[in-house]
Amino acid sequence: MFPLLDFFRSRENSLECLYEYDMPKLDYHGDPVYFKQPIEASVQLIKIQDAVIMNLEMSVTITMSCARCLEMVCQSEKVKKSFQLVDKSKQSSSTDSQWDEEIIFYSNNQLDLESVVHEQALLTVPLKLLCRHGCQGIRNRCGTESKDEECRCDHMVATTEIDPRLAKLKDWYQKE
């Protein structure tokens, strides 16, 4: 929890701090997602009249497997977001109806900065990550990656026994 009371009482209109957070490994539909540790977030609090604005900047590096070829891929994302801080006790029905992702509620003059950084790190995880543009993935028959030059698919087809029920179809195909 990040204490806000001293900032509210001070005559300063802004406060800057660095926050480090160790993001746990994530299980994303059975695939592990690893975060480079720790995530460093730069937080700036600004008083503007009766409002408090929080600017958050952080860089998140994730490692997860390619959606097509299963190679481990590392990707970095920069996050820059601004939020309005609202005291939960002063929350009104108008705030509820206008609630969106740019509002963060705090209570007892304490801000749960860990959950904010955690949520923003989760938002950087892509639905599907590719190792490179145009990744062909793994071949259906031999299981090798499509980027490999030598494929064993043709060799496997030639050496496998043909089902006797389908042998006549092979002869028919070769006649043409």
Q: Are residues 144 and 174 in the same domain?
A: yes
Q: Are residues 56 and 116 in the same domain?
A: yes
On whether the CB atoms of residues 53 and 82 are closer than 8 A, the answer is yes
Q: Are residues 78 and 163 in the same domain?
A: no
Cα torsion 18, 24, 28, 29 to 10°: value is -160
On whether the CB atoms of residues 57 and 42 are closer than 8 A, the answer is yes
Q: Are residues 94 and 9 in the same domain?
A: yes
Instruction: Quote the CA–CA distance of 144 and 142 in Å, as a whole number.
Output: 6
- Note whether residue 64 is domain-resident: yes
Q: Are residues 107 and 152 in the same domain?
A: no
Q: What is the residue whose two structure tokens read 């496997």?
A: 156
Pairing of strands 26-28, 31-35: antiparallel
Q: Are residues 88 and 49 in the same domain?
A: yes
Instruction: Quote the CA–CA distance of 3 and 70 in Å, as a whole number.
Output: 43
Q: Are residues 60 and 146 in the same domain?
A: no
Instruction: Quote the CA–CA distance of 160 and 158 in Å, as a whole number.
Output: 6
Residue 124 C-alpha from the chain's centroid: 3
Q: Are residues 102 and 161 in the same domain?
A: no
Pairing of strands 31-35, 51-65: antiparallel
Token code pair at residue 135: 């990744």
Pairing of strands 31-35, 103-106: unpaired
pTM value is 0.72
116 burial (CB, 10 Å; 0-12 / 13-18 / 19+) is: buried
- Note whether residue 167 is domain-resident: yes
- Note whether residue 145 is domain-resident: yes
Q: Are residues 38 and 95 in the same domain?
A: yes
Q: Write out the chain's pLDDT in tens, 176 residues.
A: 887 878 888 888 888 999 999 999 888 888 899 998 899 999 999 988 878 899 999 999 999 999 888 899 999 999 999 999 888 877 665 555 455 668 888 888 888 899 999 999 999 999 889 998 888 888 776 667 766 556 666 555 555 667 778 777 777 767 65
- Note whether residue 105 is domain-resident: yes
Q: Are residues 106 and 78 in the same domain?
A: yes
Q: Are residues 55 and 92 in the same domain?
A: yes
Q: Are residues 91 and 161 in the same domain?
A: no
Which residue segment(s) compose the domain that 160 sits in? 138-176
Strand partners, 76: 61
- Note whether residue 29 is domain-resident: yes
